Amino acid sequence: MRKQGGYVINEEVVYRDLVSAEEARMTESGSQWLETVKEMRETFDAQKEQVSQCPFLEYSHRRDALLRLRQAIKQKSSALQQALSDDYGYRAPVDTEIADILPLLHQIDYTRHRLKRWMKPQKRRPGITLLGTKLVVHSQPKGVVGIIVPWNFPVMLAVSPLICALAAGNRVMLKLSEFTPNTNQVLRALIAEVFSPNEVAVVEGEVEVSRRFTELEFDHLFFTGSTQVGRQVMLAAADNLTPVTLELGGKSPVIIDDQIDMDVAVSRLIYGKCLNAGQICVAPDYVLCPEHRQEAFIHAYQRAFRAMYPDFEANQDYSQIVNQPQATRLEETLQDALDKGARRWCALDQQTMPTAAKRRWPTQLLTQVTDDMRVMQEEIFGPLLPVVTYQDISEALRYIQARPRPLALYLMSNDAEIRAQVTTQLHAGGMGINETLFHVAAEDAPFGGIGDSGMGHYHGIEGFYTFSHRKTVLTRDKWDTSFLVKPPYNRWYKRLMRWWLMR
């Protein structure tokens, strides 16, 4: 084992991940992936040609494309919910409605109503040294954008960046996850109804196809997924100097202070952990709790979980772990923690040990965790929740500062001083105070990571700017003052001007 960025890195885990990736590559039957890669290249070249022929799409074209997309999402809402449930074994339809469908409809509405203003060239002040000029910043489409989609929210995380890219006037290629084939089928049909392949194209395939996708000469590459794969994506993009936006993950902490009502604190964090069975990049990954309040937290979580999901075995509001490999990974992570001394508390009263064979797990709370456990080294992405205790708030802050910067940071506190301290002293992609998860739904605010949790933003006008080139245009008309700064420099009035500017 070795240390990296505050985490203990287990070489066996890295080796296991590399082996799994190689095995996944070998499962692609025969030379089928070669044909997919050939078609992918042809589609990319066709989109590039379209950009060459029509480099700037007018407002009416972009607006109408977004409107058609909205109508298609509404029409296929039920099909998307069913397809996602089929891919998961069972995914609560309301999870898909709340976390995938509704945010997209609202994002399209928000974007359409502001797009004309966003597209307008912005006047800037040239300053005294550029007297006689006009300065304007134009938002120009970048060209062809590649979007790599993960499996946990394959609708939301495909279409949300797509909305931003279309609003900015780009052509788009979507690489969908191989782990959601039913959802991909519906998405492919939806996209085909709204766009020609020269506007938006869908690509499917496993590891080799994904690798070749990242090697295309995109004008921008957008990736959502793990930090480890994000590094590989960025490395591939570097060969083409392709700008990238990386929406990664990490271990997002929840700090509970010493004074807040525990039932209130738990009620604000539990949904963020239970939605989609915790398979969310901004789900609470661990809790920092005052040591003397740990037991109160566990009991409050159990009460809240039973209230949210009564008759758990028959409850239709709770989703499954997406597939068997993910369930096996979580079972191994849990067992590793228990073998190394962690104590388990089931969110239900019964303490039956969950297994990979059964992919419907209530939250498993873990106490007495240590840094040598996988559950504290890797992003959990599932219904495990470690509880780390602290003596005072400064200790909690130091704990977070010693680790890679997370995608989300949550604080449960009504203390204004603590709120200010945490907000200003800790880095994270985004933050929620007395709430988890919902900051992602803010349409008028940027979403993105920092450090190991990613780079770049989307949502709102930041999403429009991410997929636009901000081009500065300086214009000089009749009044030419440039002679004041051109040779010969020894004229008295030029020396006087330089003295005046430097004073």
As annotated, the active-site residues are: 247, 281
For residues 332 and 10, the answer to whether their CB atoms sit within 8 Å is no
Could you give the angle at which helices 59-75 and 156-167 cross, rounded to 10 degrees?
A: 160
Q: How far is CA 407 from CA 10, 129, 245, 403, 436, in A?
A: 22, 42, 14, 12, 12
**Residues 6+ positions from 45 with CB-CB distance below 8 Å:** none
The letter for the amino acid at 413 is S
Give all strands of the β-sheet with 122-124 in edge-to-edge order.
122-124, 133-141, 468-476
**H helices present in 89-155, as ranges:** 93-96, 102-119
- State how far the Cα of 342 lies from the Cα of 366, in Å rounded to an integer: 6
Q: Please give the backbone phi and psi of residue 337, each rounded to the nearest 5 degrees, phi first.
A: -65, -45
Q: How many CB atoms lie within 10 A of CB 498?
A: 13
The letter for the amino acid at 354 is P
- State how far the Cα of 387 lies from the Cα of 368, in Å rounded to an integer: 8
**Residues 6+ positions from 355 with CB-CB distance below 8 Å:** 331
Q: Which of 417, 487, 463 is nearest to 104 (CA)?
A: 463
**Residues 6+ positions from 216 with CB-CB distance below 8 Å:** 40, 41, 44, 146, 173, 240
- Nearest 5 degrees, angle CA 119-CA 154-CA 91? 135
For residues 428 and 271, the answer to whether their CB atoms sit within 8 Å is no
- State how far the Cα of 333 lies from the Cα of 380, in Å rounded to an integer: 8
